Structure 1
């Protein structure tokens, strides 16, 4: 269980479209820079930084491919008098990878908004926050122990983005981010590329919060979500 921050602001975020320019502060939004009528080309799109040499343990890293099978997340309904019903997603935890970039590539998401049967394609929600470098925050563990989190998330500058088919995302090393969120009628599978060295606190750091971050997703059913429940599965393959 991630340690829960003892103090954090209550936030409501309105997501914006994912684009290279809007996401540049947090990493790389990946989409083809080339025209569709160009048949063959190679173009550099995203760095894959490996800074594990700077980690306290000195343990070397390796490149790792992981598949994340992400089912549509449960949304919260918001009702108000004389207003259409809205939906929100509550983010309860952020994580970061201090020494590596991490890329999420959807493998089965069409770049068309609708597929052959007319069903809306899912989208994915990206929630990120900068790091407060050199600062600390206090948090409580499951056992009630108070601990210090170094370089905590800057929640006041958190942002949310909507990614679609034909896009991928690379989180820069140290960027705080929510676990991947899928909105829509079905599961989306992501190939995840990163470096790991097997030292827990060097591979991944987490921070949770009580109230969390509220992402306003607009009117109910905007992203075509159906009730679909299932596990989140990870399978890993070494390069």
Structure 2
């Protein structure tokens, strides 16, 4: 283990690895010894920790991080599950004590282990802190107040894949952020994120080779003044401009910005998606894509042999653009360069193609590959075109006040703190930050990219892995999975006035409408918000969605939400799937007024 100066972050960690512990990739806290003053889940937040100096809660001064009680004779600990299902190979760590001065962790140590899927299924969230399989990766090391501490693993330690990490805080105190940097191995054939399965030959499967969960990563970005280049490979479409790649404004003639993606594995490329979601007045004028074959560990240089895959092509605001890639099958490309002219912001980049190795093993020549259909561009509405969901609305969209008896879809939305927030269509991408949408492609959510298998003797399509049931209770809680039915009366008036939100801290919660054929239900409203710095709903993250009766939803653990708001002329029954504690029912649900 080697301590790294902060000015070497980009060279040692930033350009060589991915933050595989991030909540944006599914990283989560499984258990902790103590979080009396501030929750351990804050360790994995995406952004830097802001100062909350001078703010106090029921337990004392507020800190955005993890803070424990005083006077621990040994150490406090937290166990994390990494985001990628198969884990990752570690490069190093960032332990940040930002804003903790006088109550920072004096020392830390870092440990890790690997569980097979079978072991993880049997262990669940009850992984023991003293399990003999924990390996020490960073021995006891000193920490200072309000600063980042970077550690790089030795080369021999970077080859093993780990799924879980344990951080020791010795003996107690506070840590603001904890980031694990590593490399995500390419997933096995058939298990890639969003992989399109070919029923005739798995070598013909198509997947996003640039997606971070499929092993893709950014190895170079020339400018990331407003947003990191690595954001363009994250899952979903994000929540605002802050989780995209945005550069400074340029003034020079012929200027462009560029980033280099190392694909998860070499591939023959079919089409690309360039998404400018949330970038409405600052999207690039155009984009350009180039590919190269570079087998070395180094970053390919600008004067390497780059092949034009997409010539300079205009972009539009807030749109998913799909482009066929010229000469994408001419080589087994390892890297793709993304240029934006002259500057601006891009939300996501997807590079869809086929893995080169399975094609070679099956002796399938590039010229004989069946064509991959290129989707049409999508102008997909998002919850808000601004980071402020309470921005003023025009007279045309200022609907009747909450006292109206209207229940028409034109008035669908909520009123909160006297402000009207309209409902937007429920889509998989728009809802990703809050949970999962459980449905198949339909007229309201034409998500043709959902993988499926043909089952039941050819009479059905099985859409795969739409929502995993998560149980983050400790073993002592004796939690079990239950199924309930809620009969919800339709909203008496729209817009609906929201006065409270609730959450289940340790479990997912799915609601599946049970609608009779020819029923008069008109769908339901879904109101959600992320958790805020004070462990209350963060209303700036509020989302309001209009769901159809063809759709079901599942909230992530810890997501604040309003109880079901049914629409139409008759009650709607919902099947609810949730984990509940047999021994500590008070843990099951938190409710707050807003």
TM-score bucket (shorter structure): 0.5 to 0.7
Using the alignment, how far apart are the partners of 1:97 and 1:24 within structure 2? Answer: 17
Q: Which one is further off, 191-200 or 165-174?
A: 191-200
- The answer on 1:172 being equivalent to 2:540 is no
Q: Which residue of 2 aligns with 1:205?
A: 590
Aligned to 2:546: 162
SS for the counterpart of 1:21 is helix
What is the rounded CA distance, in whole Å, between the counterparts of 1:124 and 1:63 in structure 2? 24
Query: Where does residue 103 of structure 1 map in the other structure?
Result: 510
Asked whether 1:125 is paired with 2:532, we answer no
Kept in 2, the 8 Å contact 1:124–1:162? The answer is yes
2:212 corresponds to which residue? none
For the structure 1 residues 45 and 101, does the alpha-carbon distance in structure 2 shift closer, same or farther, using more than 3 Å as the test?
A: same
Distance, in Å, in 1 between the alignment partners of 2:537 and 2:509 is 17
1:126 and 1:160 in contact (8 A); partners too: yes
Deviation at 1:120, TM superposition (A): 5.1
- SS of equivalent residue, structure 1 residue 156: helix
What is the TM-score with the length of structure 2 in the denominator?
Answer: 0.26
- What is the TM-score when the length of structure 1 is the normalising length? 0.63
Check conservation: 1:62, 1:195, Cα contact below 8 A: yes
Greater relative contact order (Cα < 8 A, sep 6+): 1
Contact 2:484–2:577, Cα closer than 8 Å, also in 1: yes
| CA RMSD of superposed structures (Å) | 2.4
**Aligned-partner SS, 1:161:** strand
**Cα gap change, 1:172 to 1:48, in 2 (>3 Å):** same
Contact 2:513 2:572 in 1 (8 A): yes
2:570 to 170, 183, 186: 186
1:64 is aligned to 2:491: no
**SS of 1:52 mapped into structure 2:** coil
Contact between 1:109 and 1:166, CA under 8 Å: does it hold in 2?
Answer: no
- Distance in 1, matches of 2:522 and 2:590, equals 28
Q: Which residue of 2 aligns with 1:223?
A: none
Q: Deviations over 1:38-59 (max 9, x none)?
A: 62343221011000018xxx31
Unaligned 5+ segments in structure 2 are 1-415, 441-449
Partner deviation per Cα, 1:181-232 (whole Å, 9 max, x = no partner): 10111111110001000424410000013xxxxxxxxxxxxxxxxxxxxxxx
Q: Secondary structure of the equivalent of 1:207?
A: strand
The Cα of 1:12 is off from its aligned counterpart by: 2.4
Query: Which position in structure 2 is the counterpart of 1:147?
Result: none
- 1:40 has 2:460 as partner: yes
Q: Which runs of 5+ in 1 are unaligned?
A: 1-7, 76-86, 137-150, 210-239
Q: CA deviation at 1:30?
A: 1.1
The answer as to whether partners of 2:521 and 2:567 remain within 8 angstroms in 1 is no
Match of 1:81 in 2: none
Q: Is the 8 A contact 2:515 2:521 kept in 1?
A: no
Correspondence 1:25 to 2:433: yes
1:121 to 1:59, Cα distance in 2 relative to 1, 3 A? closer
